Amino acid sequence: MLNLEIVTPEKKVLSEAVDAVTVPTPSGEVGILQNHAPLISSLSAGVLSFTKSGAVEKMVVAGGFVEVSQNNVSILADIAETATEVNGETARAERDAVERELGAFKGTFEESEPERERLEVARARLQLSSGR
């Protein structure tokens, strides 16, 4: 078993024993099982999933870090939202608004980073709300 703890600046979101965790990172999704090698990585906006007694649960995470050490998975995230906290229509509206902003953006690629991050969060929320 793994001890999974997910914390945001506002609250402790989750603290449970789980069988497996999959986290989104800049280099792709990382699957974590019992006795995983030590790891520290930044998080990407995306859907985190974990398996507990055969049931898979998912949530949106964005910003922050994941640390794996001695069967403990610690996630410090700027955003961590469960499926019940995500509204698909709001996420769709946010995605559409950010896409319009990016379409009209006149700055450099680097200057568009905050908007691109908002877009990834909106896409992750949509993915979670649609059950994919």
Q: How far apart are CA 72 and CA 94, in angstroms?
A: 34
What is the predicted pLDDT for the residue at 132?
57
Q: What phi and psi, each to the nearest 5 degrees, are found at residue 71?
A: 65, 20
Which of residues 131 and 70 earns the better pLDDT score?
70
Determine the Cα angle at 60 with ends 96 and 117, to 5°: 50
DSSP string spanning 84-124?
Answer: GG--HHHHHHHHHHHHHHHHH--S-TGGGHHHHHHHHHHHH
Q: How far apart are CA 109 and CA 84, in angstroms?
A: 34
Q: How far apart are CA 91 and CA 132, in angstroms?
A: 15
Segment among 33-37, 38-42, 58-62, 80-84 with least mean pLDDT: 80-84
pLDDT in tens, 96-123: 888 888 888 888 888 888 888 888 888 8
What's the length of the chain?
132
